[in-house]
Amino acid sequence: MAARSRSISKSPKAPASPNGGARLAVTAPVKAAWQYVAAPEAHDYLKLASHYDLFIGGKWVAPKSGRYFATLNPANEEVLTKVGEASSADIDRAVQAARSAYEKYWRRCSPQDRAKYLFRIARSITERSRELAVLESMNGGKPIRESRDVDVPLAAAHFFYYAGWADKLDWAFRNAAPAPLGVAGQIIPWNFPLLMAAWKIAPALACGNTVVLKPAETTPLTALWLAEIIQQADLPPGVVNIITGGGETGASLVRHPGLDKVAFTGSTEVGKEIARECARLRRPVTLELGGKAANIIFDDAPLDQAVEGIINGIFFNQGHVCCAGSRLLVQESVHEMVIEKLYRRIQTLRVGQPLDKNTDVGAINSKAQLDKIETLAASGEEAGRKRYQTECALPARGYWFRPTFFTHVALSDRIAQEEIFGPVLSVMTFRTPDEAVEKANNTRYGLSAGVWTDKGSKNFKIASQLRAGVVWGNTFNKFDPSSAFGGYKESGFGREGGLFGLLPYVRIPWHSA
Amino acid sequence: MAQRVAVRKTPKLFIGGAFTRSESGRTFACEFDGHSVHAARATRKDARDAVRAARTAWPAWRDRSAYNRGQIVYRLAEIMESRRDQFAQALRSSIATPTQADREVSAAIDRIVWYAGWCDKIEQVLSTKNPVSTPHFNVSSPEATGVVAVVAPHAPSLLPLISTCVPIICSGNTVVVVASEKDPLSAVSLAEAIANADVPAGVVNVLTGYRAEIAPTLAAHMDVNAIDLWISDEDLDAKTAELACDNLKRVRRRPEPLTDFWYGRDAQGLDWIQSFVEIKTVWHPAGL
């Protein structure tokens, strides 16, 4: 859904080789075929206050410490507003509010009423979708085209989907008498701020839990707008509490003795720390962590479509995607042709202002993330890999990184093993299907993978051998609330979306015998 | 006539389909049928060898048809039924009265039969076809997690071993199990039945020895995907569970239940299988 078809600037020299095996050298920089007129999305109706408090017990309350921290627009480095920094005293209040809401209201609320509250939230998100999309792009740097067409509609759809489950849990878990766990502490990342809030809150509430949610340090704003939506939907106070802060706030939340459940989406490193803490506390935990997905292109694949899939796989949301197709495995016989096409294609990507409706690739989310991407890309050069990138001009202010790919990458390279979480693709080759599977699985991660081939039987076979929780055949980066998403291996455990997304939030009596 | 001198059996480890002594040569004493025997005391190296055997066996076991896995698991029940006396004798020599031993063997065999029938139904019951809003065919279905380590309860020694390991292999996982430390000989008998039941080498690997020595190695092993801990010793349980986070193993953790638990309805169920599968979602465009 990210990469809608766009015109491809095609040189008359671009050969259409019938055998797919012609040797093609990547040619000189491709000039943009035409200029785009700026098409900015208006944002003047979005009036931000000077600061925002924490949302606890249905009210906006100032952090006990009185401390607020600035949140930026990464596309121009300007301060948008300030948000409260929750300390352990605030977390205490939030968990208590969630506990009392669980005991007083939510566990006593009829399942159908829970459903109706969730439907209300879904509807309100849709009503305020433009405002949320603009805010998401301003605070996170992602193109308005993506926040408008992907993040916000999917967030609404997620609430709508799980609303329907709230009073049908006996059909999801037959003969099992599913019960809620209690109070869930949830920590979400900065790459899909509103969508991840929806992924966390909707199934938890549908199953009868109450939550304390901490959005990411750099992207707190849409979660606070969601808090307002929840407030206006008249949910009982304390069912959803949203507290802002950084890593320390998150760590305190995970450790809080009043939680019955922790759910985290973020890096594998932090995920392991949280897993250890929860192991010590004997606390149920689900983790949605990093990835280093292989996108496998066989020589019988529809190559132009595959190239669109590669672009979508790695440059969607600036590559700030845990399931990004960051390792490209190309069958040797079509390697040159794919590289040629890919190089031409990235030159047509519009990199720039997130609020411009023409923009394909927006701003890098933060200075820290930009530094990390630059370091890892530099390691690719140090290893002697060949670097290709877009030649376009970049804005003077803000955090930017050109869409980039490396060829001749070795499996052991840092850029082939470590999650870059940016618009950087590592290209490797293979000869046989077995080699493709072997290389694809040669990673500690196992979140997603892509397979491109015109042969259905090959697609099924390869998909069954890939150790990844989501496999996209002849497509990439597709998401739906009815479809389970989650990792194998060190990409975490537990699923979000679909019927399986309910499981992390219910207690089945005989599971805990 | 003089009483016949019985032939006694050396209890060994079962790794990769072979019965071996510990690489260290170490043993520990236990009682069997009124006399003392020395069971192999597996080391960390033995544990690593067992993991390697389990990993080697895994792809072929996973790729067998579910029907075939079901037949093999059922075959295990057949073999055990024909060796009831051997199992009952092993149990009697530890804790059980003859009646108790008989009851435990029956329950173990019946449990195997129950799971044998599950092998080709897991995917049907645990899969969803998802009505996504875009023109795609979309299915979420379970797959084996990979290599699963089990630290079995001390007592009883047979029924929990079956109750944990059999559902794990039904879905296509392979297993390394640390047997009861107090009564390792049921596990040795089980290994012999497995070796005769067409279960491919390495699908089930049985270690005897001290769990405090072996469990942390399995928990920290980077090529083990999941671990099933039945440890009442809180320190060992906590240490093991924390080590399992090194590569984010899937962890099931319970203190050892009382004997009655293993005969109740909670000791057998689809969730025993579901705890050690991964859900994979596959997308494909649907269109002309």
User: Exposed, middle or buried, A66 (CB in 10 Å: 0-12/13-18/19+)?
Assistant: exposed
Segment B195-251, tens digit of pLDDT: 999 999 999 999 999 999 999 999 999 999 999 999 999 999 999 999 999 999 999
Contact B194, B76 (CB under 8 A): yes
- Flag whether pLDDT at B175 surpasses 70: yes
Q: Which of A109, A278, A322, A323 is catalytic?
A: A322
Mean residue pLDDT across chain A: 93
State yes or no: is A109 an active-site residue.
no
Q: Smallest CA–CA separation between A276 and chain B, in Å?
A: 5
Predicted TM-score of the model (pTM): 0.94
- Flag whether pLDDT at A28 surpasses 60: no
ipTM: 0.95
- Flag whether pLDDT at B70 surpasses 90: yes
Q: Specify the amino acid at residue B166.
A: V
Contact A480 B269 (CB under 8 A): no
- Flag whether pLDDT at A11 surpasses 60: no
Helix (H) or strand (E) run with residue B256 in it:
none
User: With the CA atoms of B249, A184, A482 and A55 taken in that order, what torsion angle do they form, in degrees rounded to the nearest 10?
Assistant: -140
Q: For CA atoms A6, A12, A16, A17, give the dihedral sign.
A: negative
Q: Which two tokens stand for residue A88?
A: 């352990």
- Flag whether pLDDT at B72 surpasses 60: yes
- Flag whether pLDDT at A20 surpasses 60: no
DSSP symbol at B98 = H
Measured between beta carbons, which residues in chain A are less than 8 angstroms from residue B143? 464
Segment A99-128, tens digit of pLDDT: 999 999 999 999 999 999 999 999 999 999
- Flag whether pLDDT at A1 surpasses 50: no
Q: Smallest CA–CA separation between B135 and chain A, in Å?
A: 11
Contact A481, B217 (CB under 8 A): no
Q: What is the pLDDT of residue A6?
A: 39
Segment B110-139, tens digit of pLDDT: 999 999 999 999 999 999 999 999 999 999
Quickly count: other Cβ atoms within 10 Å of residue A234's Cβ: 10
Contact B248 A498 (CB under 8 A): no
Q: Which two tokens stand for residue B164?
A: 């944990």
Measured between beta carbons, which residues in chain B are less than 8 angstroms from residue A473? 282-285
Most confident range, picked from A20-24, A41-45, A336-340: A336-340
Region(s) of chain A under CATH 3.40.605.10: 51-289+488-512
Beta-carbon contacts below 8 Å between A and B: 111
Q: How confident is the model at residue A511 (pLDDT cuts 50, 70, 90)?
A: low
Average pLDDT (B181-205) is 95
Contact A341, A304 (CB under 8 A): yes
Q: Which of A146, A288, A336, A340 is catalytic?
A: A288
Q: Smallest CA–CA separation between B83 and chain A, in Å?
A: 32
Q: Smallest CA–CA separation between A157 and chain B, in Å?
A: 10
Nearest-by-Cβ selection for A469 from B244, B245, B279 = B279
Contact A95, A259 (CB under 8 A): yes
Q: What is the pLDDT of residue B34?
A: 76
Residues of B with CB under 8 A from a CB of A: 128, 130-134, 136, 138, 140, 143, 145-146, 225, 238, 241-242, 244-248, 250-251, 253-254, 257, 261, 265-266, 269, 271, 278-285
State yes or no: is A322 an active-site residue.
yes
Q: What is the pLDDT of residue B25?
A: 96
Measured between beta carbons, which residues in chain A are less than 8 angstroms from residue B134? 1, 478, 480
| DSSP-derived 3-state class of residue A137 | helix
Q: What is the pLDDT of residue A513?
A: 36
- Flag whether pLDDT at B277 surpasses 90: yes
Contact A510 B269 (CB under 8 A): yes
Q: For CA atoms B137, B138, B144, B147, give the dihedral sign.
A: positive
- Domains annotated on chain B, with CATH: 13-285 (3.40.605.10)
pLDDT > 90: what percent of chain B? 89
Q: Please provide the DSSP assignment of B130-153 as one string.
A: ---SSSEEEEEEEEE-SEEEEE--
Distance of alpha carbon A132 from alpha carbon A148, whole angstroms:
8
Q: Specify the amino acid at residue A90.
A: D
Segment A60-83, tens digit of pLDDT: 999 999 999 999 999 999 999 999
- Report the residue of chain A nearest B270, measured CA to CA: A511
Segment A452-463, tens digit of pLDDT: 999 999 999 999
Segment A396-447, tens digit of pLDDT: 999 999 999 999 999 999 999 999 999 999 999 999 999 999 999 999 999 9
Q: What are the helix and strand counts (H, E) for chain A?
A: 16, 20
Segment A469-483, tens digit of pLDDT: 999 999 999 999 999
Beta bridge mates, A40: A356
Q: Smallest CA–CA separation between A448 and chain B, in Å?
A: 9
CATH number of A294-473: 3.40.309.10
Segment A302-334, tens digit of pLDDT: 999 999 999 999 999 999 999 999 999 999 999
Cα–Cα distances in angstroms (integers) from residue B13 to residues B43, B47, B108, B191, in the given order: 11, 10, 21, 8
Contact A478 B279 (CB under 8 A): no
- Report the residue of chain A nearest B241, measured CA to CA: A279
Parallel/antiparallel/unpaired status of strands B18-20 and B13-15: antiparallel
Segment A149-208, tens digit of pLDDT: 999 999 999 999 999 999 999 999 988 889 999 999 999 999 999 999 999 999 999 999
pLDDT > 70: what percent of chain B? 99
Please say whether the structural domain A51-289+488-512 has been given the CATH code 3.40.605.10.
Answer: yes
Region(s) of chain A under CATH 3.40.309.10: 294-473
- Report the residue of chain B nearest A473, measured CA to CA: B284
User: Exposed, middle or buried, A111 (CB in 10 Å: 0-12/13-18/19+)?
Assistant: middle
| DSSP-derived 3-state class of residue B25 | coil
